[in-house]
Structure 1
């Protein structure tokens, strides 16, 4: 048996790019560094919700929430299933280094990917943040 962590043995890695305006999930092949799937809250089907938050009074500096994160996760999982990828890993160090409010906001994305049938290696170690899955 190998003692190398699963992330290092994994062929595909799921990374999140977060800002106050959008959340993007991208899956890349670790051997080629090419992006194989990507979904973002800046895509067309998210625009209506984005504009409603943009024009809201009082204004907000955050334009995505846990619901948006979950939808982004579902979209990227659908793409993964479509091309035959059944498991991905996360960069645990990167996820644990996020500020506490961002850690909690991205958990629904990981849950959504899992519920769509894609295994997310490493996410079980995020349980210290809060409940990861039901």
Structure 2
């Protein structure tokens, strides 16, 4: 059991390092570069929410579902899936030299990318749904 927790600790450190590497590579280290992980999906989801706010909401007439939160959550879930699938091949290409290290595996790279993409989009969805914009 001791070796399991030691291996798990190493695995968490490797995935954390891969997430930081992806963050630095994609968004840079200056100014508000890191905010784009949240702002980019927020802008897309806001646009889709505005389209649904102005549209006729007859399909939601007999339910308690509000069209704007439904559109934001649905589009956010779609963005998570789309980004994970479309960017997985780029993950393998860009991080291929890291596979020479004994502790880094292909699963680690893909799992780190999945966590990275999901965290940013989930933060943007929660901020759009739960934080009132004045």
> Do the structures match in fold with TM over 0.5?
no
Q: Which of structures 1 and 2 has the larger relative contact order (alpha carbons within 8 angstroms, sep 6+)?
A: 2
Which one has the bigger helix percentage? 2
TM-score by length of 1: 0.33
Which one has the bigger strand percentage? 1
Structure with the greater alpha carbon radius of gyration: 2
TM-score by length of 2: 0.33
